[in-house]
Chain A
Amino acid sequence: MAELLQQVINGLSLGAIYALIALGYTMVYGVLRFINFAHSDVFMIGAFSGYYLAPRLGGGTFWGGLAVLFSAMAICAVLGVIIEKLAYRPLRGRSTLSVLITAIGVSLLIQNVGQNQKIGFGPNPKAFPKIFPESNLQMGSLVISSNQIIVLAVTVVLLAVMWRIVHRTRIGTAMRAVSFNATAASLMGINNDRVISFTFALGSALAGAGGILYAMNYPSIDPLMGTLPGLKAFVAAVLGGIGNLPGAALGGMIIGLVETFVSGTKASTFRDAIAFAILILILLFRPAGLLGKQRVEKV
């Protein structure tokens, strides 16, 4: 029983990170209808921002840690907006495929610049520094690390803020309008480009936070670290119903839990395949995702 609870806690803290990344995918998909492959690399940049900022901003203390977290989120937000402006905006209105390939190009570019020894971080894994003060909470045979609590707390706060932005502010209303019908939204006087920039900023900031939180729990970072969590988070977004915000959070949690439970069994080497197996099953039986709405094809 204690072991089960332990796995649930581990799974939830992993799932929370997937949920943060998945939100970025789902929001961008909502407004632009394409998979932002570079999102997982923004996540990686978030982790590396933490790596370089932690010694300078006093990582290891509570307030220093928060400063690192927010700075990394800001850096990623700016990066997301720049990527959108330079690479995706010129292709607005072109086929999804061109944008998809460009996104893959951007992803390869960030990864390879990151791997370069001279202009990037270098290919070798780096040990991630302490961001927040660490200790372990012992409850019977249950061990909860402070990092897991921080991951869950930060995720809950960020999700709440997100929900507020999307449902209670003007720009959030505009985001929903663009996602519902981009042409009609622009006819109503919404500046679509601005909304899209804002969406990228928001999504990338969440990915940046996800990067820091992920690196806190798996403290070895390298320029390719984003690929797998990125793909799994995308699966989470599809699982919940792409374009659907609560769906992304739910999907992230499910993927995190399932992955953690599989890791604990004999099939642990198939850990990385399980997310895709879930994806294939869900798409076959409920293509719109758990919380998504089925779209009817009209001729």
Chain B
Amino acid sequence: MLPRSQIWLLVVLAAAGGAAAFSGRMDDYVLDVALGVCINITLAVSLNLINGFTGQFSLGHAGFMAVGAYTAASLTKTLGEKLLPLVGGQPWILLPIALLAGGLVAAVAGLAVGTPSLRLKGDYLAIVTLGFGEIIKVIFQNVDFVGGALGLNGIPTTLNPAWVTVIVFSTLATAALTVYVVWGLLHSTYGRGFLAVADDEIAAESMGLNTTRYKITAFVVGAFFAGVAGGLYAHTKGTLTPGGFDFTKSIEIVVMVILGGMGRHVGVIIAAILLTVATEWLRNFGDYRMIVYSLLLIVLMLTRPQGLFTWSWKKKAA
């Protein structure tokens, strides 16, 4: 008998396969929103590992997302024509490879960023990760291979009939896998260390935990999934511009984690779903959309700073 969590994962993956099989017949708008929800779940859950469970406040998630997005998109778009014949013309093989590559490059970026900056704490860490996010953005603006400031166009998307099924399946599967990996990691013996670092770093250190190592692990794993999510984002939007991965995007993800309640599994997933749908709903407000969004943010922080789904009878994790 498999552990319960693995059965859940298989069920969700099977459902993802089923949903993907019908994706060609779905309404484009609904499909777009559904994929957006899954990508945001991936982003929020992976950031939750860093910000919530490990207690290291990062504001640079959009930067890792950009790294993954550009890597994956350059592989499928620029090299796609050369690579596709090698894998038998099958996007089913190319896309996962591209996504994995995007995730790995983002993880390397995470390691490079995390190793020096995780020596800092709190606000300083926030501002350094924000700085790294901006630097990554500026670098992409200056690399002509990926279109520079104009951006990268013509990435295969769900509008391409040969690609739609694999994109939809990968997006759903990635969200499920992210939740599974983060959940599994935290419930493993090793994973308890993350919570210890968040609860009391000095105490954890004096118990013999290598706190720096835990922080960097959280950072690298989080960056990996952010990179994969970025790759998926590229393949749902079809266009990438460096400006799309700025500070505001990082904030969007942070808000999901905060509203869900830092260091909670289900709350953050619900918050990611709610906020993605709410963003669509806010389009009804036209020009006032972002004003309503920021007002909601302020009011929520003033009234429920512990997150929407944190009730007092539950022990706070972070």
B-side contacts of A238, CB under 8 Å: 124, 127
Is the Cβ of A283 less than 8 Å from the Cβ of B288? Answer: no
Specify which of B132, B251, B297, B298 is in contact with A280 (CB 8 Å cutoff): B132
Q: Is the CB of A104 within 8 A of B302?
A: no
Nearest opposing residue in chain B for A269, CB measure:
B142
Interface range on chain A (Cβ under 8 Å from partner): 35 or more
**Cβ of A149 < 8 Å from any Cβ of B?**
no
Q: Which of A84-141 contact B (CB under 8 A)?
A: 87, 90-91, 94-98, 100-102, 104-106, 108-109, 112-113, 115-118
B294, A109: Cβ atoms under 8 Å? yes
- Find out whether the CB atom of A100 lies under 8 angstroms from the CB atom of B126: yes
Q: What is the chain A residue whose CB lies nearest that of B295?
A: A109
Closest A residue to B299 by beta carbon equals A105
Identify the stretch in A73-81, A185-193, A271-279 within 8 Å (CB) of chain B at 4 or more residues: A271-279
CB proximity of A9 to chain B, nearest CB, Å:
26
Partner of B301, one of A105, A234, A299: A105
Chain A residues whose CB sits within 8 angstroms of the CB of B57 once the complex forms: 97, 100
A247 to chain B, nearest CB (A): 15
Determine chain A's interface SS by DSSP, over half rule.
Answer: helix
The minimal Cβ–Cβ distance linking A297 to chain B, given in whole angstroms, is: 7
Decide if B291 touches A109 in the complex (CB within 8 Å).
yes
Which residue of A has the minimal Cβ distance to B135? A273
CA distance in complex: A26, B101 (Å):
42
State whether A109 and B298 are in contact (beta carbons under 8 Å apart), knowing that A270-B142, A279-B127, A297-B202 are contacts in the complex: yes
- List A contacts of B248 (CB < 8 A): 108
Asked if A151 lies at the interface with its beta carbon under 8 angstroms from chain B, I say no
With A96-B123, A104-B251, A105-B301 given, is the CB distance from A116 to B131 under 8 Å?
no
* Chain A residues near B192 (CB-CB < 8 A): none
Residues of chain B with a CB closer than 8 A to A283's CB: 117, 120, 124, 128
Known: A108-B294, A269-B142. A279 touches B131 (CB 8 A): yes
Measured in the bound complex, the distance between the Cα atoms of B122 and A34 in whole Å is 10
What 0/1 pattern do residues 77 to 91 of B give for CB contact below 8 A with A? Answer: 000000000000000
Are A272 and B138 in touch, CB under 8 angstroms?
Answer: yes
Q: Which A residue's beta carbon lies closest to that of B138?
A: A273
Question: Which of B116, B126, B294 has a CB less than 8 Å from the CB of A284?
Answer: B116
Q: Interface size for chain B: under 10, 10 to 19, 20 to 34, or 35 or more residues?
A: 35 or more
Q: Specify which chain B residues have a CB less than 8 angstroms from the CB of A276 in the assembled complex.
A: 131-132, 134-135
Per the 8 Å Cβ criterion, residues 174-219 of B in contact with A are 202
Across-interface contacts of A96 in B (CB, < 8 A): 122-123
Contact A35 B298 (CB under 8 A): no
Contact B119 A101 (CB under 8 A): no
Task: Name which residue of chain A comes closest to B258, CB basis.
Answer: A101
Q: Mostly helix, strand, loop or mixed at chain B's interface?
A: helix
User: Residue B287 at the A interface, CB < 8 A?
Assistant: yes
Contact pick for A91, options B117, B119, B128, B302, CB 8 Å: B302
Q: A219-249 vs B: 1/0 string, CB under 8 Å? A: 0000000010001001100100000000000
User: What residues of A have a CB within 8 angstroms of the CB of B287 in the complex?
Assistant: 116-118
Tell which of B120, B138, B305 touches A95, judged by Cβ atoms closer than 8 Å.
Answer: B305
Once bound together, how far apart are the Cα atoms of A235 and B128, in whole Å? Answer: 9
Q: Judge whether B123 and A34 touch: CB under 8 Å.
A: yes
A58 contacts chain B at the CB level, 8 A cutoff: no
Cα distance, A96 to B305, chains bound together (Å): 11
Give chain B interface residues in 98-145, CB to chain A under 8 Å.
116-117, 119-120, 122-124, 126-128, 130-132, 134-135, 138-139, 141-142
Among B138, B254, B258, which residue has the most Cβ atoms of chain A within 10 A? B138
Report yes or no: B301 in contact with A101, Cβ–Cβ below 8 A: yes
Report yes or no: A108 in contact with B293, Cβ–Cβ below 8 A.
yes
Smallest distance from the beta carbon of B200 to chain A beta carbons, Å? 10
A-B contact pairs, 22 of them (CB 8 A): A34-B123, A87-B298, A95-B305, A97-B57, A98-B301, A101-B297, A104-B297, A105-B294, A105-B295, A106-B294, A106-B298, A112-B291, A112-B293, A113-B291, A116-B288, A231-B134, A238-B124, A238-B127, A273-B139, A275-B131, A277-B131, A284-B116
Q: Give chain B's interface residues, CB within 8 Å of chain A.
A: 57, 116-117, 119-120, 122-124, 126-128, 130-132, 134-135, 138-139, 141-142, 202, 247-248, 251, 254-255, 258, 262, 287-288, 290-291, 293-295, 297-298, 301-302, 305
Further contacts, 13 of them, CB under 8 A, given A96-B122, A100-B123, A109-B294: A96-B123, A98-B301, A100-B126, A108-B251, A112-B290, A112-B291, A118-B287, A231-B134, A270-B142, A276-B134, A276-B135, A280-B131, A284-B119
